[in-house]
């Protein structure tokens, strides 16, 4: 974050004042400079939906703050490089990007300017709902000075919005100014050019509507824009569809905007051409639409399969000033993860393709394929999609041939104190692989399979191999009465003591189970079914970088990412024998987790090529800040703190670490036993078992709700609430469903059905209100 600069502040203040005077003079004059009026007789496909706004008739309405009567307004035309940068007269043609407007009928028929081949195909379409009163008045998208859109875009794309200063007080908006990263101030036309030149496009869901004020909830009698035609490249007559390789649609106004999108484009989902984004907000708001899509496409798509040709629809926290439940930093973090980082990754792939002579309007998927063909890699370096990884297995008898001189040693811990099956592959660490008992005819005898297929392990796995102690590779075996270990690689001295510290065996678990069972009758039933669930004490450095990679991700992909990360920057430890389904024996190289020093020369580009995506930037920024703070010593010092909330505040200073990730690091590596990582699953536990009103009227986990949910666990379980929370979380995993009492499973299912019924009723009620 750049320090406060008085010269920048003065410059921004003068610029803001100048723009305000210019607007006042323009509004006071009856002469030129006003945007073009709506052309009523223009011929446009899919009904006449593509209109320029008509601020001439709206300026008085926009300045009337009361907005007592509904006004019918029309949205802007889509902003993408084809109509912002690519014109025949070398001037911006976008109706609200600069003075002078090209009629849309002419724009629609215009061919791409060959001189603008440097512009990328559109990969990301960002959709507002409908322009606000201020936006229509100023003829600018996201024009309100407290709308976060251009601040976030600037932080992601290397500029600072010109209106970072309040026009009334002359002072910077503290909620934005204190966090802005860059010093280069751009005016609106240049902001627009910067964003579209990177392959992003801007538009609105609603083409025209009646509305009092600017709230999305007040939109009535609306007509949607032809967004599907735009995405499929069929809107412009003479611009080929290959220039619209759109991979994601980003909803800019939160769940309200997403619901409006679903209302008008349900058929697009059911046609199997859209899929919900991976973040919790997208999964929740598009759940009903995706269920309809699955039913409609049941015969053509496997449940949960991802078709790379399908456009991802991502719902992100609203950028409007009205969306106040998220802080600017929380909004920026989500937007970088869901929009700008993956979009810039596509842009960089396109840039790389140009070096190999690939046409600029080739789809990004083709680009990446061509790039891979032109730069052959060794067989070992080929990156597979986690869902398409060849099925391989680690077999216990094969591992027995490694270091045969090292025997199995008893960790001397009874079953009620530790069950690795309920601890190692349940989401708190990612450095353990499941080992099969034996291998017969291409099929493992046990239900436990490789991590590529079993994301969360299984409750009946009995052996694992991992590297929890830096320079050692260790096998862990669970028996009916105790836990054994064997060193496969590395020094053997002190391993037993180190493993006891790793599993935190200095803390007796049985008394805690007994205490928690008295405090929660439901947990008492779970405790009898799932003994030995412990919190491990991971290396803080490894835990921190691992959970940065866990953001908006699944366990197989996290495991694959971290495996590549280890291989690139870690130290080689051992080759483990593996078997494919056909029985063929191969080898899996095992590496230690990278140290700060080994990451010193790592670059964001290197990490992106390894498949880390937008997380690459977070890894580099966190590495640099951690080094300044003192490295591993800084993290180990946090382990001595007794205030979990203070530790959380320390950790969220690092790039890519929000409250949930911070609490995961605190609980799983820093001995912060009061930390409660809250995601939608934990919120469901709290709502179902402790307080059905915990979510209130909110539709997502805001900072206030996050703290409220955590307090429900802390208030109920006075000792080691983070451990109790983890036991309840493990019970929610599908792989443990069969060991739970029938009445506990029945309660889960009934609550889930009831929640689905309530959501359906709410949806039907909203339909009635809008009809």
- Are 457 and 735 in contact by the 8 Å Cβ rule? The answer is yes
- DSSP class of residue 585 equals E
**Per-residue model confidence (pLDDT) at position 174:** 66
Q: Range with the lowest mean pLDDT among 59-68, 234-243, 353-362? A: 59-68
Q: Is the pLDDT of residue 312 over 70?
A: yes
Q: Give the CATH number, domain containing residue 89.
A: 3.40.470.10
Phi (first) and psi of residue 297, to 5 degrees: -115, 25
Q: Are residues 324 and 411 in the same domain?
A: no
pLDDT reported for residue 234? 66
Residue 491 CB neighbours (<10 A): 10
Check residue 583 and give its pLDDT: 64
- Higher-confidence position of 737 and 721: 721
CA distances from 4 to 120, 155, 440 (A): 35, 15, 67
Q: Are residues 736 and 747 in the same domain?
A: no
CA 165 – CA 181 distance, rounded (Å): 15
Polymer length in residues for the chain:
771
User: Does the structure show a pLDDT above 80 at 689?
Assistant: yes
Of the candidates 133, 123, 612, which has an alpha carbon nearest to the alpha carbon of residue 350? Answer: 123
Give the mean model confidence (pLDDT) for residues 407-419: 95
Q: Last residue of some domain: 322, 344, 366?
A: 344
* Nearest-angstrom CA–CA distance, 650 and 498: 27
Domain shared by 747 and 720, yes or no: no
557 and 653 in a single domain? The answer is yes
205: pLDDT strictly greater than 90:
yes
Residue 755 confidence (pLDDT) above 70: yes
> Do residues 744 and 731 make contact, with C-beta atoms less than 8 angstroms apart?
yes
Three-state helix/strand/coil letters over 663-718: HHHHHHHCCCCCCCCCCHHHHHHHHHHCCCCCCCCCCCCCHHHHHHHHHHHHHHCC
Does the pLDDT at position 368 exceed 60? no
- Reported as a pLDDT band with limits 50, 70 and 90, residue 320 is confident
The kind and range of the H/E element at 639 are helix 632-639
Residue 363 lies in a domain: no
- Which DSSP category does 294 fall into? H
Instruction: Give residue 161's pLDDT band: very low, low, confident or very high (50, 70, 90).
Output: confident
Are 353 and 367 a contacting pair, CB within 8 Å?
yes
Q: Tell me which of 344, 370, 403 is where a domain ends.
A: 344
Domain range for 633 = 386-740
Q: Specify if 720 maps to a domain.
A: yes
Predicted pLDDT at 38: 27
Structure tokens at 346: 């596509």
Reference 181, options 601, 617, 541; nearest CA is 617
Q: What is the pLDDT of residues 641-683, one digit of tens each?
A: 999 999 999 999 999 999 999 999 999 999 999 999 998 889 9
Given 108, 247, 337, 660, the catalytic residue: 660
Note whether residue 103 is domain-resident: yes
Same domain for 709 and 761? no
Q: Residue 365: what pLDDT?
A: 40
Tell me the mean pLDDT in the region 721-744. Answer: 91
- Residue 512 within a domain: yes
Place of tokens 């990177």: 198
Q: What are phi and psi of 460, to 5 degrees?
A: -105, 15
Instruction: Tell me what the mean pLDDT of segment 105-117 comes to.
Output: 42
In the block, residue with structure tokens 């496409």: 297
The pLDDT of residue 82 is: 74
Indicate whether 70 pLDDT > 80.
Answer: no
Residue written as tokens 């538009």?
203
Number of Cβ within 10 Å of residue 680's Cβ equals 12
Going by C-alpha positions, the residue among 632, 713, 724 that lies closest to residue 670 is 632
Whether 533 is in a domain gets the answer yes
For residue 121, the number of C-alpha atoms closer than 13 Å in the C-beta half-sphere is 30
> Does residue 685 sit within a domain?
yes
Q: How many domains does the chain have?
A: 3
Same domain flag for 723 and 769: no
Taking the CB of residue 713, how many other CB atoms lie within 10 A of it? 21
List pLDDT tens digits, range 493-530.
999 999 999 999 999 999 999 999 999 999 999 999 99
**In a domain? residue 377:** no
> How far is it, in rounded angstroms, from Cα 702 to Cα 697?
11
Q: Are residues 109 and 229 in the same domain?
A: yes
Residues 502, 632 within the same domain = yes
Please state, rounded to an integer, the average pLDDT across all residues of the chain.
77
The end-to-end CA distance of the chain, in Å, is 47
Provide the 10 A C-beta neighbour count for residue 522: 18
Residue 660 designated active-site: yes
CA distance 596 to 727: 33
Mean pLDDT in residue range 723-748: 91
Residue 391 pLDDT more than 70? no
Q: Same domain for 337 and 289? A: yes
pLDDT of res. 627: 94
Residues above pLDDT 90, as percent of the chain: 41
Determine the pLDDT at residue 86. 53
Are residues 322 and 414 located together in one domain of the fold? no
Clarify whether residues 547 and 594 are in a common domain: yes
Question: What pLDDT shows up at residue 19?
Answer: 43
**Do 698 and 556 fall within a single domain?**
yes
Burial of 587 (0-12, 13-18, 19+ CB in 10 A): exposed
Q: For residue 298, name the pLDDT band (cuts at 50, 70, 90).
A: low
Pick from 397, 393, 532, 543: which is nearest to 468 by CA? 543
Q: What value does the mean pLDDT take over residues 436-465?
A: 55
Rounded mean pLDDT, 5-18: 45
What pLDDT does residue 107 have?
Answer: 38
Q: What is the predicted pLDDT for the residue at 301?
A: 44
Question: Would you state the pLDDT for residue 165?
Answer: 66
Would 356 be classed as within a structural domain?
no
More confident residue, 60 or 761: 761
Mean pLDDT on 158-184:
74
Gap between the Cα atoms of 389 and 407, Å rounded:
33
Look at residue 680 in the predicted model and tell me its pLDDT: 86
């Amino acid at each position: 974050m750049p320090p406060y600069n008085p010269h920048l502040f003065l410059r921004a203040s003068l610029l803001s004042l100048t723009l305000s005077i210019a607007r006042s003079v323009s509004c006071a004059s009856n002469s030129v400079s006003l945007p073009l009026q709506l052309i009523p007789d223009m011929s446009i496909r899919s009904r006449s939906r593509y209109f320029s706004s008509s601020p001439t008739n709206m300026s008085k309405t926009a300045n009337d703050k009361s907005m007592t009567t509904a006004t019918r307004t029309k949205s802007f035309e889509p902003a993408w490089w084809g109509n912002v940068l690519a014109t025949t007269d070398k001037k911006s043609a976008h109706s609200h990007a600069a003075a002078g407007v090209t009629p849309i009928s002419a724009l629609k028929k215009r061919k791409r300017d060959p001189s603008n081949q440097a512009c990328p195909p559109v990969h990301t379409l960002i959709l507002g709902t409908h322009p606000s009163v201020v936006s229509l008045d100023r003829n600018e998208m996201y024009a309100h000075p407290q709308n976060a859109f251009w601040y976030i875009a600037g932080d992601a794309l290397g500029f600072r919005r010109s209106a970072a200063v309040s026009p009334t007080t002359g002072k910077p908006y503290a909620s934005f100014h204190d966090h802005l990263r860059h010093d280069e101030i751009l005016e609106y036309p240049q902001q627009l050019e910067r964003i579209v030149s990177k392959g992003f496009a801007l538009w609105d869901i609603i083409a025209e509507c009646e509305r009092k004020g600017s709230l999305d909830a007040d939109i009535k009698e609306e007509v949607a824009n032809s967004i599907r035609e735009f995405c499929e490249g069929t809107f412009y007559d003479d611009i080929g569809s290959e220039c619209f390789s759109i991979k994601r649609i980003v909803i800019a106004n939160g769940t309200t905007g997403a619901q409006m999108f679903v209302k008008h484009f349900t058929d697009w989902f059911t046609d199997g051409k859209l899929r919900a984004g991976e973040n919790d907000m997208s999964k929740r708001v598009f759940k009903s639409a995706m269920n309809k899509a699955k039913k409609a496409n049941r015969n053509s798509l496997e449940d949960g399969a991802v078709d790379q040709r399908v456009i991802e629809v991502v719902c992100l926290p609203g950028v409007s000033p009205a969306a106040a439940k998220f802080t600017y930093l929380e909004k920026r973090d989500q937007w970088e993860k869901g929009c700008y980082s993956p979009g810039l990754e596509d842009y960089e792939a396109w840039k790389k393709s140009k070096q190999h002579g690939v046409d600029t309007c080739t789809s990004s998927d083709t680009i990446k394929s061509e790039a891979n063909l032109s730069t052959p890699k060794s067989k070992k370096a080929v990156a597979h999609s986690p869902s398409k990884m060849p099925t391989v297995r680690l077999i216990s008898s094969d591992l027995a041939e490694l270091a045969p001189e090292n025997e199995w040693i008893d960790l001397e811990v009874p079953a009620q104190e530790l069950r690795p099956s309920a601890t190692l592959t349940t989401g708190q660490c990612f450095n353990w692989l499941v080992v099969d008992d034996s291998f017969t005819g291409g099929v493992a005898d046990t239900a436990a399979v490789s991590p590529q297929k079993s994301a969360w392990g299984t409750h009946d796995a009995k052996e694992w191999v991992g590297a929890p102690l830096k320079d050692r590779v260790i096998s862990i075996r669970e028996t009916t009465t105790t836990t054994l270990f064997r060193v496969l690689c590395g020094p053997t001295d002190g391993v037993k003591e180190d493993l006891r510290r790793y599993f935190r065996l200095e803390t007796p678990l049985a008394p805690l189970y007994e205490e928690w069972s008295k405090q929660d009758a439901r947990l008492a039933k779970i405790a009898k079914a799932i003994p030995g669930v412990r919190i491990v004490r991971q290396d803080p450095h490894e835990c921190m970088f691992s959970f940065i990679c866990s953001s908006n991700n699944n366990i197989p992909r996290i495991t694959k990412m971290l495996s590549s990360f280890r291989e690139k920057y870690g130290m080689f430890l051992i080759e483990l024998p593996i078997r494919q389904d056909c029985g063929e024996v191969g080898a899996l190289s095992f590496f230690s987790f990278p140290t700060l020093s080994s990451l010193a020369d790592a670059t964001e580009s290197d990490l992106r090529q390894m498949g880390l995506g937008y997380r690459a930037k977070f890894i580099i920024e966190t590495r640099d800040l951690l080094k300044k703070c003192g490295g591993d010593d800084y993290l180990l010092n946090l382990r001595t703190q007794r205030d979990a909330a203070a530790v959380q505040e320390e950790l969220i200073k690092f790039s890519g670490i929000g409250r949930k990730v911070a609490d995961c690091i605190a609980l799983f590596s820093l001995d912060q036993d009061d930390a409660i990582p809250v995601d939608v699953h934990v919120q469901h536990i709290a709502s179902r078992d402790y307080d059905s009103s915990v979510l209130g009227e909110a539709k997502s986990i805001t900072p206030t709700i996050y703290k409220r949910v955590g307090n429900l666990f802390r208030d109920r379980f006075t000792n080691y609430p983070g451990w109790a929370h983890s036991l309840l979380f493990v019970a929610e995993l599908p792989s443990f469903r069969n060991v739970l009492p029938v009445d506990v499973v029945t309660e889960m299912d009934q609550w889930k059905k009831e929640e689905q019924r309530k959501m359906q009723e709410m949806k039907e009620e909203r339909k009635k209100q809008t009809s």
